[in-house]
Amino acid sequence: MSDYPGLRVGDVIPMAPASDGQAWIPAAVVVQLLRAIADGHRGLADDPECDLRSGADAIEAEADAIEVRAIMQTRAGGL
């Protein structure tokens, strides 16, 4: 779901530590992420080789990228 091959949206989302040390992202970024997902689905809709599973796989990959970053950064003690 990125215009740049090899770069995931989840790799560039800004994160900040909450008071409990967990990672959080601003609401405006969540909105941008959801719009990127919608845009990606529009692109897949025109491709006869793709279906909802392709979209779900792309969303899972982005979620994995965000989760890995959050885990790495919270374990490192800072975002």
Output DSSP code: residue 5.
Answer: T
Phi and psi for 30 in degrees, rounded to 5?
Answer: -60, -40
Output DSSP code: residue 50.
Answer: -
Neighbours of 13 (CB within 10 A): 19
Output DSSP code: residue 46.
Answer: T
Q: pLDDT tens digits for 14-25?
A: 888 888 888 888
Q: pLDDT tens digits for 37-78?
A: 888 788 778 888 888 887 888 889 888 988 888 888 787 765
pLDDT at 69: 85
pTM for the full model? 0.65
- pLDDT grade, residue 1 (50/70/90)? very low
